[in-house]
Structure formats: C-alpha cells, structure tokens
C-alpha cells in the first residue's frame, strides 16, 4: 500500500514537471499548439477571436449601412387638468342651497352655492330712495342757476346804462357804484348756483354708487361655475356660515387633458409647437395629441423647459396627476444600429465607436469616431455620426487605439483558428 502511494506521487510530480518545464514539448506530443490552448482556456470569458497576423491586433467587425429612422424626444411627465379653480365667496352669509356632491358634472354658469341675502334688499331700497332724492335736486339747482344767470344779465345791463348816463351828466357816482355792486352780487349768486348744481350731480353719482355696491353684493350671493367641468369637492353644506374668502367648491376641466413634461436643454431645440406626440400611461393605454405650449424660460433648479401636449378626453377617462411617458415627434435622422457593447470611450471620456479604415498603404487600421446616441432598442442602439457605410469593431475595440493595424474578421464570417 505504501509503494502504491510513492508511485502515485512520482507520477503526479512528473506531470507537473512536464507542464511547467516542458510545456511546448508536451503540446507537440499531444498534437496541439500553445496558442490554441490559450484561446481555448479563455473562450468562456471573452468572445472567440482569430489569431492575428504578426504586428496586427485581431478584431471582429460588422458592416453597417446608415438607415433613416423616425426620431422622437422622450419625456416623462404627468397628466394635468386643462383648468382648475377654487370658487370662493366674496361676501358673507348662510348657505341656502342644497350641496352638490363631488364628481358631479357642472355647466358654465350653474349655481354652486347660494347665500342668504339678509338685510341687503332693505339696503338696496334705501340706496335707491337716496338716488331718487338726489336726482330730484338737480332740476331745482338748474332753476337756481338760470335765475342767477338772468339776475347777472340784468345787473350788467343796469351797469352799462348807469355808465352812459354818468358820462352825459345825467346820473350820479352813487348810482354807478350801486349798479356795479349789483353786478358783483349777481356774479357771486351765479357761482353759488353752479356749485349747487355740481353738488346735486355729485349727490346723484354717490347715490348711484351706493345702489351699485348693494346690487353687486347681492349678485355675489350666488356663486356659479366659471366653466363647465367636474366637481372635485362637495359644495358648501346647507346652513353653513360662509365668510368672504371661504371655499364653495373646486371645479376642474378635464376635456381636453394636458400632458406636462420637462425637456432638457440638449433636446429642446428638437421640439416644435404643434408637433405630434404620443403618450403611454402606466396602465399601458396610449393617447395622441399635439404640442400646445413650449416654455421659453427654463426652470432655475433643473434647467429644463416645460412642454404641454393637449389630448382629447371627452369621456373623462384620463385623470389629473397620472404618470405618462411622452414621445414627441422630431425630424428624422440617418443612424446606424449597433450593439450597445460596441460603444467605448476615448481618453477624454467622449462616447464613440471604433471603426476599421484603410491607411495610405491599404492596411486596415482602427479609428475612433465620436457618435451621438439617438435611441435605445431591444436590438441595440441607434447612433449618428458615422459614415454612410462603416465597418464597426464589435469585439476587441478596447484593445486598439487610433492607427493600430488590425486583422479584421467580419461578424458574418466564421472565426478561424
């Protein structure tokens, strides 16, 4: 038994010696090369590459031709009611109307809350009586004005007559002074009459203002829907006391519905007003509409621009605040569909692809080309910035730099050992 262990140990030592010290002779004896063994030992960790010619790096490339794609700007956003308003009371009073329950569809001008008028009717009657009284004073003031104008005219005639008589020596200075005093008094009476007429007009206007204030206050007793929509809350309860500024109800308009998203600075120039847009809700439902608003001012925190899409919602099935993914149509571009794994970075961190080009001697060399990522799909990514037709390195791109000679195997060809 002990001899068997010794023999086994000697055999294992001999195998280890051959693998370490005479590896090449062992592979020649078995009919395999060292290079082939290296490839076989690493094929589980890396794509299979052909053995490169001396002085070159072996890579696998694909031939790609640019194709026209419909580009779109993708935005995450939410649904938002076209209009929403909280109807508030502008005066105080008890609620006299029966409440409308939330979810009720209301028309524009429909009564939501009606308040008790209280003593406002009496105040209106008093204001109208004051207006009538003030209006009656205007004819009296006008008559006084006409009377004062006539008295002034008479005094001026007497003054002119006295002046002529005193020139001929037929009247005394005392008479002239009396006539001039009469003229001055008539002028003062005329000014007083004019002031009285203006005061009468002012009284009428003040009375009219009082009537208008009371009438407006009475109009405010009835709170109506400013537009057709849906009640988001119950209206105020019957018998509740409302103060100025108290909420009566919240009305929202859901038809049409707005889809609101925020577009980054790099994408905003691709969005145009009235552009077609499609959106998908979390439930999977899809809706379509047009861009109705494009902000010209960026959000100061996120540096993004607000975009609104208007979509029909006649059945009110869309709700305010739902999450949506919006795709806004933009001008199409020519692009290449490449595996995402082929993308790489240059020394400056710029995203791009390595392609195969010919040098002046006709030798295949690697070349880095910056690209722009347009769209991600299940089959790969669409990128722009490449020539119309290009041989894109999809395996080995991380092991070459610009100008390095490469031994190219197309992806459609079988990799040779």
Q: Using one digit for the tens of pLDDT, what is the confidence trace for 289-347?
A: 999 999 999 999 999 999 999 999 999 999 999 999 999 988 777 899 999 999 999 88
Q: What is the pLDDT of residue 36?
A: 46
Radius of gyration of the chain (CA): 48
Is the confidence at residue 115, as pLDDT, over 90?
Answer: yes
Q: What is the pLDDT of residue 389?
A: 92
Q: Which of 60, 19, 27 is nearest to 398 (CA)?
A: 60
Cα–Cα distance, 181 to 82 (Å, whole number): 77
Q: What is the pLDDT of residue 140?
A: 87
Q: Judge contact between 58 and 48, C-beta under 8 A.
A: no
Task: Tell me if residue 1 falls in helix, strand or coil.
Answer: coil
For residue 54, name the pLDDT band (cuts at 50, 70, 90): low
Sequence length of the chain is 417
Higher pLDDT, 38 or 146: 146
Q: What is the per-residue pLDDT across 145-181, written as a single tens digit (0 to 9) for each?
A: 898 888 888 888 887 777 777 776 655 677 767 877 8
Q: Beta 57-65 vs 406-410: how paired, if at all?
A: parallel
Task: Tell me if residue 130 falls in helix, strand or coil.
Answer: helix
Is the confidence at residue 111, as pLDDT, over 70?
Answer: yes
Which string of DSSP letters, residue by residue, matches 69-117? Answer: E--EEEEEEEEEEEEEEEEE-SS-EEB-SPPPPTT-EE-TT-EEEEB--
Question: CATH classification of 57-69+334-410, choosing from 2.70.170.10, 3.40.50.2000, 2.40.420.20, 3.30.450.20?
Answer: 2.40.420.20
Question: Where along the chain do the CATH 1.10.287.620 domains lie?
Answer: 120-219
Q: What is the pLDDT of residue 171?
A: 58
**Percentage, residues of the chain above pLDDT 90:** 56
Q: What is the pLDDT of residue 285?
A: 93
Of 11-15, 254-258, 392-396, the least confident: 11-15
Question: Where along the chain do the CATH 2.40.420.20 domains lie?
Answer: 57-69+334-410
86-115+222-248: CATH number? 2.40.50.100
CATH architecture of 252-332: Beta Barrel (2.40)
Cα–Cα distance, 357 to 353 (Å, whole number): 13
Which string of DSSP letters, residue by residue, matches 279-309? Answer: EEETTS-EEEEEEEEE-SS--TTT--EEEEE
Helix or strand holding residue 6 (H, E): helix 2-21
Task: Tell me if residue 61 falls in helix, strand or coil.
Answer: strand
Question: Where along the chain do the CATH 2.40.30.170 domains lie?
Answer: 252-332
Ranked by mean pLDDT, the top range of 43-52, 63-72, 158-167, 306-315 is 306-315
Cα–Cα distance, 265 to 116 (Å, whole number): 55
Would the CA dihedral through 238, 244, 250, 253 be positive or negative?
positive
Facing residues of 395 across strands?
A: 60
For residue 23, name the pLDDT band (cuts at 50, 70, 90): low
Query: What single-letter DSSP state applies at residue 52?
Result: P
Question: Where along the chain do the CATH 2.40.50.100 domains lie?
Answer: 86-115+222-248
Q: What is the pLDDT of residue 20?
A: 57
Cα–Cα distance, 75 to 185 (Å, whole number): 86
Q: What is the pLDDT of residue 253?
A: 95
Phi, psi dihedral angles at 177 (to 5 degrees): -65, -40
Higher pLDDT, 265 or 176: 265
Q: What is the per-residue pLDDT across 128-141, written as a single tens digit (0 to 9) for each?
A: 999 999 888 888 88
Q: What is the pLDDT of residue 21?
A: 58
Instruction: Confirm or reject CATH 3.40.50.300 for domain 120-219, answering yes or no.
Output: no
Q: Mean pLDDT in the chain? A: 85
Q: What is the pLDDT of residue 50?
A: 52
């Amino acid at each position: 038994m002990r001899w068997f262990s010794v023999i086994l140990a000697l055999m294992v030592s001999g195998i280890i010696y051959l693998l370490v010290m005479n590896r090449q002779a062992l592979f020649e004896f078995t009919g395999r090369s060292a290079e082939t063994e290296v490839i076989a030992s690493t094929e589980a960790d890396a794509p299979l590459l052909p053995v490169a010619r001396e002085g070159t790096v072996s890579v696998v490339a694909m031939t790609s031709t640019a194709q026209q794609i419909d580009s779109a700007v993708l935005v995450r956003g939410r649904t938002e009611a076209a209009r929403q308003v909280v109807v508030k009371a502008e005066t105080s009073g008890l609620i006299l109307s029966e409440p409308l329950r939330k979810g009720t569809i209301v028309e524009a001008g429909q009564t939501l809350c009606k308040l008790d008028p209280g003593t406002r009717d009496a105040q209106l009657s008093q204001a109208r009586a004051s207006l009538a009284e003030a209006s009656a004073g205007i004819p009296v003031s006008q008559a006084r004005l006409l009377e004062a104008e006539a008295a002034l005219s008479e005094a001026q005639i007497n003054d002119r007559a006295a002046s002529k008589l005193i020139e001929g020596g037929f009247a005394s200075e005392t008479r002239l002074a009396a006539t001039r005093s009469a003229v001055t008094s008539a002028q003062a009476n005329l000014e007083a009459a004019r002031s009285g007429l203006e005061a009468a007009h002012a009284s009428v206007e003040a009375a009219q203002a009082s009537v208008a204030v009371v009438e407006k206050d009475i109009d405010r007793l009835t709170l109506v829907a400013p537009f057709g929509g849906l009640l988001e809350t119950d209206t105020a309860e019957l018998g509740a006391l409302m103060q100025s500024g108290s909420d009566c109800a919240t009305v929202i308009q859901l038809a049409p519905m707005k889809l609101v998203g925020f577009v980054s600075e790099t994408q905003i120039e691709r969005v145009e007003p009235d552009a077609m847009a499609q959106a998908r809700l979390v439930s999977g439902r899809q809706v379509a509409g047009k861009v109705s608003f494009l902000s010209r001012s960026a959000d100061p925190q996120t540096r993004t621009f607000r975009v609104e899409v208007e979509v029909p919602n006649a059945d009110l099935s869309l709700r305010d605040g739902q999450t949506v993914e919006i795709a806004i149509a933009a001008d199409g571009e020519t692009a290449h569909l490449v595996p995402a794994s082929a993308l790489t970075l240059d020394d400056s961190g710029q995203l791009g692809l390595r392609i195969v080009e010919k040098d002046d001697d006709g030798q295949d060399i690697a070349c880095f080309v910056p690209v722009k990522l347009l769209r991600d799909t299940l089959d790969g990514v669409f990128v722009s910035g490449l020539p119309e037709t290009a041989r894109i390195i999809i395996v080995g791109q991380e092991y070459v730099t610009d100008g390095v000679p490469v031994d190219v195997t197309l992806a459609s060809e079988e990799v040779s050992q």
